[in-house]
């Protein structure tokens, strides 16, 4: 369930280890980790070997490591992907898919391991293109160049160049339920099921409220809560329910203790003490307080 805060924790952990590092070798152990890469394992390994990584950048849930002004390793963790930092020769991780050996000019040799239980995540070599607004593509670099696989998604709500006017306009012309719209990465990126539920609970908005029916002040309140929830989760190291989400050193985050709605079916709403309900939605679940979050 890595969403924006979890991916940012991973990016921040990778940054000092990979910036300036030379890619000594690449070992693809499971081709399913390359579903977004065109060219196969041999091509992936050859394209990366001998290159030097210049940064670790993130927009929404996408993470990428540029190795020139034109190319980057794009990473998406999917549901259960992990990027782990290990010493060379470290034992194979459970669900290990790809191992990249680096030679850092200061820290020396280290391994970056991509492990992924459910194989929804992947790595790919992708081309970089200019950002339409000329601003930095994401957090972690000033370069205004974004991978083609990431170019179609919106900036995330924590991005200084996030276009609030565009966000409001998208909501105003979409009749779908607000939760569905929040999960649409082309509206605002980085929000998944957990933080959508938490933001809507904080803003006291029912998840099925039509987006276009939200008054301007409700939209502003919601965006404020989205940012507050993402910031707090990031400060607490992200949300870990099981061993699936961990930082680059394999450690869990603490935000699961701060959840008010998500996963709290039947437990009292922290605001009004009435039980949180769970409803089926888009092959997943919505958790909310039917008293604090009324559909009108």
**Which DSSP string corresponds to 42-75?**
HHHHHHHTT-B----EEETTEEEEESSSSEEEEE
Give me the long-range contacts of 227-232 (CB less than 8 A, separation at least 24).
227/157, 227/158, 228/202, 229/195, 229/198, 229/199, 229/202, 230/4, 230/5, 230/156, 230/157, 230/158, 230/190, 230/191, 230/195, 231/158, 232/258
The residue within the footprint of DNA, chosen from 29, 168, 180, 221 (CB under 7 A), is: 180
**Binding-site string for DNA from residue 127 to residue 166, where x marks contact by CB under 7 A and - marks none:** ----------------------x--x--------------
Shorter beta-carbon distance to DNA: residue 60 or 253: 60
- Cα 137 from Cα 10, distance rounded (Å): 18
- Catalytic one of 32, 118, 166, 284: 284
What's the min distance (Å) between Cβ of 245 and DNA? Answer: 11
Residues 239-278 that bind DNA (CB under 7 A): 262, 278
- Dihedral sign of CA atoms 149, 183, 31, 23 in order: positive
Active site residue 15: no
Active site residue 3: yes
Active site residue 139: no
Shorter beta-carbon distance to DNA: residue 34 or 102: 34
Residues facing 220 on adjacent strands? none
What's the min distance (Å) between Cβ of 103 and DNA? Answer: 31
| CA count, 13 A, side-chain hemisphere, 180 | 13
The residue within the footprint of DNA, chosen from 24, 79, 135, 252 (CB under 7 A), is: 79
What's the min distance (Å) between Cβ of 216 and DNA? Answer: 19
- Cα 269 from Cα 234, distance rounded (Å): 23
What's the min distance (Å) between Cβ of 211 and DNA? Answer: 8
Residues with a catalytic annotation lie at 2-3, 61, 284
Chain contacts with DNA (rule: CB under 7 A): 1, 3, 32, 60-61, 76, 78-79, 95, 117-120, 149, 152, 173-176, 180, 183, 185, 189, 192-194, 262, 278, 280, 282-285
């Amino acid at each position: 369930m890595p969403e924006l805060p979890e991916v940012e924790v991973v990016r921040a952990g990778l940054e000092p280890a990979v910036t300036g590092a030379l890619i000594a070798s690449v070992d693809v152990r499971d081709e399913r980790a390359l579903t977004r890469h065109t060219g196969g394992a041999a091509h992936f390994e050859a394209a990366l070997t001998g290159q030097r990584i210049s940064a670790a950048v993130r927009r929404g849930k996408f993470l990428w490591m540029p190795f020139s002004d034109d190319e980057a390793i794009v990473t998406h963790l999917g549901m259960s992907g992990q990027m782990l930092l290990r010493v060379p020769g470290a034992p194979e991780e459970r669900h290990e898919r790809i191992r990249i050996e680096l030679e850092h000019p200061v820290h020396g040799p280290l391994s970056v391991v991509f492990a992924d239980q459910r194989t929804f995540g992947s790595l790919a070599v992708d081309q970089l293109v200019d950002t339409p607004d000329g601003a930095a593509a994401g957090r972690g670099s000033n370069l205004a160049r974004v991978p083609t696989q990431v170019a179609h998604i919106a900036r995330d709500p924590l991005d200084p160049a996030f276009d609030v006017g565009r966000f409001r306009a998208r909501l105003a012309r979409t009749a779908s339920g607000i939760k569905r719209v929040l999960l649409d990465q082309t509206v605002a990126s980085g929000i998944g099921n957990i933080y959508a539920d938490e933001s809507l609970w904080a803003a006291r908005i029912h998840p099925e409220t039509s987006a276009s029916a939200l008054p301007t002040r409700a939209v502003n309140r919601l965006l404020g809560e989205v940012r507050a929830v993402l910031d707090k989760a990031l400060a607490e190291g992200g949300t870990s329910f099981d061993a699936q989400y961990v930082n680059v050193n394999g450690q869990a985050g603490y935000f699961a203790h701060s959840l008010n709605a998500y996963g709290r079916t039947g437990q009292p709403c922290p605001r009004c003490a009435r039980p949180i309900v769970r409803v089926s939605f888009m092959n997943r679940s919505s958790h909310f307080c039917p008293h604090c979050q009324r559909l009108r």
